[in-house]
Chain A
Amino acid sequence: MHKLLNDSPGEEIMLLGNESIARGAIEAGVAFATTYPGTPSSEISLNLWQMSQETDLYFEYSTNEKVALEVAAAAAIAGVRTMCMMKHVGLNVAADPLMTLAYLGIEGGLVVLTADDPFMFSSQNEQDNRYYGKLGGLPVLEPSSVREAKEMTKYAFELSEKVGEPVILRTTTRINHSSAFVDLGAMNKRITKGDFTRDPSRWVTVPAVARNLHVKLLENLDKTLAISEDCKENFVEGEGKLGVICNGVSYLYVADAVKDLKLEGKVKILRIGLSNPLPAKMIKQFVGSCDKVLIAEEGEPFMEEAVKAFAQEEGITISIAGKSEELFSRLYEYNPGLVREKMALFFGFDYTPAKNISTANFPEIPQRPPNLCSGCSHRATFYELQEAAKGMDLICPTDIGCYTLGFLPPLNTGDLVICMGASISSACGFSEVTDKKIVPIIGDSTFFHSGMTGLVNAIFNNHNLTLVILENGITAMTGHQPHPGVDMDSLNFKGYNRVSIEKIVRSMGVEHVTLIKPFKVKKSIEQIKEALDFKGVSVIISQEPCAIMLKNLKTRKLRPFQITDKCTNVRECINSIACPSFFIENDRVKIDPTTCVGCAVCAQICPENAIVPLKQ
């Protein structure tokens, strides 16, 4: 049995924040869940997927976040408790349905989880998704701890049903990827079937209907405001004439700072957990009872601007501060020491920060960036592309996935990253305004997510580009989730269909389609050359399963290689592909037999034929 299906309320277990959220959803009786995977949200959906295999919970990996939210919307409109989860930038993709879904409202509780990533541990930006609540007129809940994440997820379903709107549950990486002990609660029964009664004047958002729906949305927002003024998610803690208003994980840092600086009796805290709409009365009262107020919130001054406006309405003129050069930044994530220091500075208490060790006299430490794995087929494809394009001036707009790492030397393949799917569409632009050869690169999951529309655009507008689709049979970067091109039967999952990328590309009308097996180096280079020479849209589909997936499935026998005495230290292997299985010992290149999977790419490019299978 899945550990999150443990039916012994009161038991305390160690959970990851994302497991805590998944358990909260299960306790709430979530019956329908959709997602497109994305760090730091991925373990929530992974756990729900696993549990769906043991229960009547419906779960799907949808093709992208917009699709996921639209699938989820129908389930919630039909009255079923539904969750839809994604990373913060995923909500940009799903923003279109979200804004109008707010007008429509829902019947069964709908929780839309957005996992924000301050500091961009694994993201291309650190946008603050609380603004989606404001933009859409939707309630936003923000837990401060792993423990609270479960309770708040449960509450999010109740709140959603109470006000008839989807609720945005906003986390940050430090909630998703922290662990703590969590008390298990009782599990509600799942109600998996709903119904939908036709009523066009209620559900068909033509202008005449939408005008009425906007009125209803504002009424619902007022209902949420009343709840925001009087809910356990927004609370005041401690006493004193100095105030701190905070949210999310910052609350923990503030609470620790009050203790560490011995400010009990001097500083009180207003913790905001329901942050849209903000509790105006509560904030006005709090600010009115303080001599000074500091706002500790990572990201944008979402609360700060509102608090200052509330104070203005009340004619309160005390000092209210948050983001400034001396105090908090809009950049990156906060930490306990930083919050302690800024509280001491703003309130005028003595504080000497811990003195950390200076690295001034350290020897230089070599960087350790993440790298494509040993035996990763992307490495082979990138090497072959660069060989085939020798003498050509390339621009390679790339996309979001493991293969983004191809930008690193020595592969140097990847020149622009915007967002999911942008490789192909940005290639269209480059092909018109530059005279260079444009080679966009995209993974299979990302192609289904939002690459297909870009390709149709390239074909229709007759752009000149060679698209490389890296088909490794899984969504690798986020932890091996399925996508429509995955052979689910081979993974022992029944009831799925497989969508062929090759057939899609051909049926779209691409005239020059090339399938390559990237571990056949010479042949692949020849094939890529031909595709690059084609005028118009040509597509190369590089087919080889993800090396980690094969390792995990244990379906292919590993066949490590070694470097023999024939080696004269030319180092073509290291200089051109730099597989992490190579290491230098006594100035000679060696292969680590415990990590080499035997792709044999290095053996094929070695000019001395010095790389051969290890005899076992």
Chain B
Amino acid sequence: METTRLIIVAVGGQGNLLASKVLGEAALISGVPIRMSEIHGMAQRGGIVESSIVFGDAESPLITDGEADVLLGFEPSETLRALPRCSKNTKVVTNIAPLPPFTVAIGLGVYPDIEEMKKIIKQETASFLAIDAMKLAKEAGSPLTMNIVLLGALLKSKGIAFFTKEKMEEAIKRVTKPAFTEMNLKAFNLGFSVEA
């Protein structure tokens, strides 16, 4: 199977490790080889959490700058920061609801303009899907389902076309807590129904 390299960037607490787990489970169900690597030492302290996920026939769990086929961003300024991981052939899916770092609040930086960020990402990459995942997550029933909304959008963008919608839903059922499965499935479908 051809290799697809996916990078997920998020801020600690946004649930990207659970999103990676869902993708891992979907890979198991679908018989897709997968290798993942995470940097999560500071996750609970508001730092950046990054997962590299390599689908298909490769041994390395790590992705070199410029070699990501797909970038999934949970926060718009983090998506922009991760663009050096991408090339002009990269598909990008991002949440556009901002989560400014505390350095902005104490005057050590200015949060970039959302529209300008969108323009740059669109200009530099092969395809760009920007959604207000926070709004959809709240619609699904909880801000905590934002990660699953983004998985829906990721599937819609054809970034992980080797997974079917059914297999992804099955993976969500297996990985998420039973009490929240319905809500997560709703979140997934809201993400999947955005215009790609």
Contacts and interface: CB of A to CB of B under 8 A. Distances in A.
B158 to A, nearest CB: 20
Contact of A181 (B34, B46, B63, B103): B34
A121 B39 CA distance: 8
Given A180-B61, A364-B112, A369 B47 contact: yes
A575 interface: yes
B172 to A, nearest CB: 15
Contacts of A402: 45
Nearest to B37: A178
A356 B35 contact: no
Contacts of B11: 368
- Which of A178, A405, A578 has most B Cβ within 10 Å? A178
A255 B25 CA distance: 26
B61 A252 contact: yes
Nearest to B120: A362
B84 A177 contact: no
B104 interface: yes
B18 interface: no
Contacts of B46: 368, 370-371, 373, 580
A40 interface: yes
A355 interface: yes
A372 B37 contact: no
Interface in B111-125: 111-113, 116-117, 120, 124-125
- Which of A146, A173, A256, A410 has most B Cβ within 10 Å? A256
B4 interface: no
B138 interface: no
Nearest to A255: B59
Contacts of B165: none
B125 to A, nearest CB: 7
Interface stretch (A67-75, A309-317, A332-340, A489-497): A332-340
A583 B41 CA distance: 24
Interface string B86-128: 1110000000000011111110111111001100100011000
Contacts of B78: 368
Interface string B44-71: 1111100000000011111111110000
Given A368-B78, A370-B46, A356 B87 contact: yes
B65 A174 contact: no
Nearest to B111: A366
B37 A584 contact: no
A318 interface: no
A366 B104 contact: yes
Contact of A336 (B21, B41, B64, B81): B64
Nearest to B121: A357
Contacts of B38: 177-179
A92 to B, nearest CB: 20
A252 to B, nearest CB: 4
A307 to B, nearest CB: 23
Nearest to A122: B41
- Which of A40, A179, A368 has most B Cβ within 10 Å? A368
B112 A357 contact: no
A355 B88 CA distance: 8
B24 interface: yes
A363 B112 CA distance: 6
Given A364-B110, A366-B103, A405-B45, A180 B67 contact: no
Contacts of B24: 14, 179
B54 to A, nearest CB: 9
A553 interface: no
A121 B77 CA distance: 21
A555 interface: no
B105 A578 contact: yes
Interface in A239-270: 249, 252-253, 255-256
Interface residues of A, number: 58
A271 B90 CA distance: 33
Nearest to B36: A179
B contact patch SS: mixed
Contact of A371 (B37, B45, B63): B45
Contact of B102 (A255, A256, A578): A578
A537 to B, nearest CB: 32
A255 B59 CA distance: 7
A580 B102 contact: yes
A39 interface: yes
Contacts of B66: 337, 353-357
A357 B44 contact: no
B196 interface: no
Contact of A354 (B34, B48, B87): B87
B83 A357 contact: yes
B160 interface: no
A363 B116 contact: yes
A14 B86 contact: no
A548 B34 CA distance: 32
B161 interface: no
A359 interface: yes
Interface string A414-448: 00000000000000000000000000000000000
A1 interface: no
Contact of A367 (B86, B101, B116, B143): B101
Contacts of B34: 180-181
A402 B42 CA distance: 9
Contacts of A580: 46, 102
A157 interface: no
A177 B35 contact: no
A10 B110 CA distance: 54
A373 B44 contact: yes
A175 to B, nearest CB: 9
Nearest to A40: B41
B35 A180 contact: yes
A439 to B, nearest CB: 23
Contacts of B41: 39-40, 121-122
A482 B195 CA distance: 49
19 contacts: A174-B62, A179-B36, A180-B35, A336-B58, A337-B65, A337-B66, A337-B67, A355-B66, A357-B87, A363-B113, A364-B109, A366-B110, A368-B103, A371-B45, A373-B45, A409-B108, A578-B102, A582-B105, A583-B105
| A-B pairs with lowest CB-CB distance, top 8 | A366-B109, A337-B64, A356-B66, A122-B41, A370-B47, A354-B66, A370-B42, A370-B45
Interface of B: 11-12, 20-21, 24-25, 28, 34-42, 44-48, 58-67, 77-78, 80-81, 83-88, 100-106, 108-113, 116-117, 120, 124-125, 143
Given A356-B84, A367-B103, 20 more contacts: A14-B28, A121-B39, A173-B39, A174-B37, A177-B38, A179-B35, A179-B38, A249-B62, A253-B60, A336-B63, A354-B65, A364-B112, A366-B104, A368-B46, A368-B103, A370-B12, A371-B45, A402-B45, A583-B105, A584-B100
